[in-house]
Structure 1
Amino acid sequence: MSDKREAPAPAGGRPDLQADCSRCFGLCCVALPFAASSDFAVDKPAGTPCRNLLADFRCGIHDHLRDRGFRGCTVFDCFGAGQKVSQVTFGGRSWRDEPGTAGRMFSVFPVMRQLHELLWYLTESLDLPAARPLRGDLQRALDTVERHTRGSAESLLKLDVPALRAEVNEVLLRVSELVRATVPGRRKNHRGADLVGAKLAGVNLRGASLRGAYLIAADLRRADLRSADLIGADLRDADLSGADLTGSIFLTQAQVNAAKGDAKTRLPQGLRRPAHW
């Protein structure tokens, strides 16, 4: 999963929330498990290096991942957690140089990824004009999460991540309500809905709540998704060709990478059009 190409900095100018594989010890290629499927060509247990990982922590088939059956690697995004764990938590000492750190490093990585994902949402929220009334709460939440990311490996492994996510989610829900309230008229609520394969081409979903919705292989061609809340929505193989996602909130690069789209798909600021589109 290494060697990610340059992407625009996320809202709020936080390049540290963007993966920088040149400063990471290939953690996503080692710490995480693969299951042989349409996304991964082989099974790989957690803690075992991918067979394509080179000695310098680069991916040996980076330019051919999809052709070789590793589509999942082109979708994954660590939100910059890889370099934070590598360079900050473990001070630039790799698991190859110090094998005794490997177990803790691999266990810390998914924790840090969740924290950086929260930082992405909070940073985005602070940049939203509609969320200005919540600026104090958002900044306090961001400061709390930031403080945890700078903690030791031991403190990170003891952290109650579900409780922290629930706490942050409360303020993110309020952000969502404020943003979507700027859209006139009745707004659709599809929170957690099963919309797998749904025919939604050209549908007005402006200001809709699609939090946690299952949109796998949904037809969203030319759909209006402006100001929609897409946090946690499963967009795997959803067709976003010609769709307008301008101003949609809490959309991540990983979600975009998992979907289909074309040159006419309009994305929010800070997200790039995947090469495979």
Structure 2
Amino acid sequence: MQDHPGDLMDLRGDCANCFGLCCVALPFTASADFALDKAAGTPCRNLQDDHRCGIHARLRQSGFSGCTVYDCFGAGQKVSQVTFAGQDWRTGSPEQARRMFDVFPVVRQLHELLWYLTEALTLPAASTLHTELRGLRERTDALTRRTPEDLASLDVAAHRQEVNVLLLKTSELVRAGVSGRKKNRRGADLIGARLKGADLRGANLRGAYLIAADLTGADLRGADLIGADLRDTDLTDADLTDAFFLTQPQLNAARGSADTRLPASVERPVHWAAGL
């Protein structure tokens, strides 16, 4: 049985059912991405009493572009509604709030792994691994449902390594089905690289640094993009059809156009149309 791509929709942030955890639990530093400093556990000055962002419609214009490229993969609503059973950090004890803020990054990491495992299950070329992938996805989901105490002490790095082994096997099977000579640029420093029109079909770009690289019109069909840094990468007119392990935060950090072709697992960023 092949899993449906729609399952990925359950792994997107649902702010209406979250207590604004990313706006409180996480720290950020004044930079090109954020207009000010904020310590972990301190509410952002833009967070309203209803847990909504007061400048959501103009985040980029207000100096908070870092917020527009963040996605909790659904961890916010999981921690808010499941782990803490709908108990708001504003009304609970300071100790409970601290526990919630500590647990949120852990669940976020697990949900990111769930995203990759769920996508892997939609790839026909990896059908021989689907049983293992499904089992590991079920175990990962079970981890997200543990108690706050268990989650706080969880060795996420060890679990991530176990997942990564299976995702590597998945990548090899999928890319093997792409015709032509395939480039291995895993972890490569491609910052500012001029790759306009490059043939990167079936390429291994895992963890590659593509910051501000020019990939205008590049062919990235069937490429593995897990962990690739796409900040300010120019994807104008590029073809990412069937590229896999590409997340929405990665895409949101890049630049593109109406003619950039994307896999079904992600959505075209709104700010691309505005040229922001």
TM-score (norm 2): 0.96
Q: Would you say how many aligned residue pairs link Structure 1 and Structure 2?
A: 268
In structure 2, the partner of 1:56 is 50
Query: Equivalents in 1 of 2:5, 2:25: separation in Å?
Result: 28
Q: CA deviation at 1:140?
A: 1.2
Q: Where does residue 35 of structure 2 map in the other structure?
A: 41
1:27 aligns with 2:5: no
Q: Distance in 2 between matches of 1:110 and 1:265?
A: 32
4+ residue runs over 3 A deviation: none
1:76-111 CA distances to partner (integer Å, 9 max, x unpaired)? Answer: 000000000000000000100103311110011110
1:159-198 alignment, distance < 5 Å: 159-198=154-193
After superposition, residues 170-249 of structure 1 pair within 5 angstroms as: 170-249=165-244
- What CA distance in whole angstroms lies between the structure 1 residues aligned with 2:87 and 2:129? 39
Is the 8 Å Cα contact of residues 8 and 265 (structure 2) preserved in structure 1?
no
Partner residue of 1:137?
Answer: 132
- 1:12: how far off? 4.4
Q: Residue in 2 aligned with 1:117? A: 112
Cα deviation 1:113-163 (Å, max 9, x = unaligned): 100000000000011100100011101110110110111111111111000
Deviation of 1:227 after TM superposition, in Å, equals 0.5
Q: How far did 1:15 drift?
A: 2.7
Letter in 2 for 1:260: R
Please, which runs of 5 or more residues in structure 1 have no aligned partner? 1-9
- What residue number does 1:4 align with? none
Residue in 2 that maps onto 1:16:
10
Q: Hey, what's the Cα distance between the residues in 2 that align with 1:15 and 1:126? A: 14
Look up the equivalent residue of 2:54 and give its one-letter code: G
| Inter-partner Cα distance in structure 2 for 1:118 and 1:238 | 24
Question: Which amino acid in structure 1 is aligned with residue 71 of structure 2?
Answer: D
State the secondary structure of the residue aligned to 1:13.
Answer: helix
1:275, distance to aligned residue in structure 2 (A): 1.1
Which of residues 88, 91, 94 in structure 2 aligns to 1:97?
91
Check whether the contact 1:12–1:126 (CA below 8 A) recurs between aligned residues: no
- Indicate the residue corresponding to 1:3 in structure 2: none
Farther off after superposition, 30-39 or 93-102 = 93-102
Deviation string, structure 1 residues 162-195 (Cα, Å, up to 9, x no partner): 0000000000000000000001122000000000
8 Å CA contact 2:18–2:76 kept in 1: the answer is yes
Separation in 1, partners of 2:24, 2:5: 29
Contact 2:192 2:214 in 1 (8 A): yes
- 1:74 matched to 2:68? The reply is yes
Q: Say whether the 8 Å CA contact 1:12–1:127 is kept in structure 2.
A: no
Question: 2 CA distance for matches of 1:11 and 1:26?
Answer: 27
Aligned residues of 2:113 and 2:163 also touching (Cα < 8 A): yes
- Distance in 2 separating the partners of 1:169 and 1:139: 14
TM-superposed deviation, 1:11: 2.2
Unaligned runs of 5+ in 2: none
Between the aligned residues of both structures, percent identity stands at: 66
Partner amino acid for 1:128?
A: L
Amino acid at match of 1:154: E
Give the secondary structure class of the aligned counterpart of 1:82: helix
Cα RMSD of the aligned pairs, angstroms, is 0.9
Instruction: Give 1:249-264 correspondences, 5 Å limit.
Output: 249-264=244-259
- Which of 75, 97, 103 aligns to 1:108? It is 103
Aligned partner letter, 1:92: G
Q: Is the contact between residue 47 and residue 103 of structure 1 (CA under 8 Å) also seen in structure 2?
A: yes
Give the partner amino acid of 1:153. Answer: P
